[in-house]
Structure 1
C-alpha cells in the first residue's frame, strides 16, 4: 500500500478537529445571545414595557451616555479598587489561617470552630455593626469584602493541605527533604488546586459583599449608581449596573481559570485545558 493511501485516512481524521474546536468555543455563548435577541424583540414589539425592562440597545446607549458624561468609568474604578483591596486583605487572612489550621491540629482546635461560626453570619446581619464601628466610608466597604473573601479561601486551603497524599509526604521525608522543602515541593503544590478553587469562590463572594455594601452605605461606585437610579426610576441604569456586575464577575472568573491553567500545567487534570 502506498504512503499516500496510508496518509489519507489520517488527514481525514484530523480535519474535523478545527470545526469541533470552534463549536466548543462558540457554544457557551449561544444561550446568552438567544436570550438577548428574544429580549430585544419582546421590548421592540411592546411585549415588555420600558419601565419594567428596557431593550438591550437602550441599556447600551445609556452606558455610552454615562461614559461620555464621565460618570460610569470613575464609579467602576472605585468599585474595582474596593473589591481588590478587600480581596487582598481577606485572601491573606484566609490563607494564613488555612495554613495554620491545615498544618497544626492544635491551631485547628483553637480556630476552626470560631471561623466556621463567623462564616455563618450573613452580610446584612453584620452591616449595621460595621457602620457603627467604621461609619459609611471606604473602610466599611473593604471590611465587608474582606469578611466575605476570608472564608472560601480558608476552607479550601485547609481542605487542600489535608488532602495531600500522605505517601508523598512520607516519600519526601525518606528522601531527606527539609520541612520547608517538603512544604514547598509537595504539600503546597498538592494543595494548590483546592486553594485556586477557593480563589474562584472568593471572587464571586467579593462581588456579592460589595453589592451589599454599595447599595446600603455608599456615595460612589456602581452600586451607588444603581441606588441613585432607583430614586428616579431609571430602569435602564439599574439593568446596566447588573450587566456590569455580571461582566466583571465573568472576567474575574476567567482570570482565575487562566491562573489555574498556568500554575497547574503540571497537573494531569489541567494539562488538557492548557493545551486547548
Structure 2
C-alpha cells in the first residue's frame, strides 16, 4: 500500500523480538485515520510483541515505524502520550479508583502539574463515559466491575486520552460472545465516528473478519495485510492453521473443525 500523508501509522520492513532473538521480520503495512485493524495469528507468532514494539515498550530490531509522518523514536514521552494510547492485558494497579477517576487518568498528558481538569478535559471524560455506556457505573469502584465492564473502562480511558492511534492487546480476552461483540463494535464506532486509528491483537478471527476494515496476519513468512475480503479471496486464512485440524470456510468467513 502506498504511503500517503493520510497515513497515521506506517510500518516498513519491521523486525521485532527480544534482544538478539527475532520473532517476526519484514512486516509492512499502513493505516489511515478511521480504520479498525485486527492483528491475528497463532499463539507465539508475535502479536503482543508487535503491539509492545509499536507502543515503545520494547525496541524494534530493525525497520521503521512512523506515527503521523514522524519516526516513533523522535517523540518525547509527553508528546507521544498525546498521539498514542495503549490498553494492555495487564490489570490496572489502580482498581480502587472509581470508573470516572480511572477514565480521568487518560487526561494526564494535558493537565498541569496539579492535575487540574479543564472544561475540555471534563468534556472528553463525559464523552468517553457516554460512548462506552458507563454513566451508571461512573461512581463504582473498578474492583467491583465485571471483566467486560472493566474492559470498557480501560478503552474509555484510552478514548479520553484523545490520541490519533489506539493500541489494544487482546481486548476481548475472558469475555463471553456477547461482550466480545459489544467491545469490538464500540471500537469500530470509535474508529469510524471519531476518525481514530485502532490496532488490536485478537484470537477472535471470525469476529475480526466481520468487523475490521483491515487485518494483519502474522504467519511467520509474508505477514499479509489488507481488506478481510481480499485476504479471504487470496486464501491467506486457509493457511493459518494445519488443515487436518481446522479448515477455513470462505463462504461463511469462519473456521470449522475438520472431521
Normalising by structure 1, what TM-score? 0.21
Q: From the CA coordinates, give the structure whose radius of gyration is larger.
A: 1
Q: Give the helix-richer structure, 1 or 2.
A: 1
Which gives a bigger RCO, structure 1 or 2 (Cα 8 Å, sep 6+)? 2
Q: Give the strand-richer structure, 1 or 2.
A: 2
Normalising by structure 2, what TM-score? 0.22
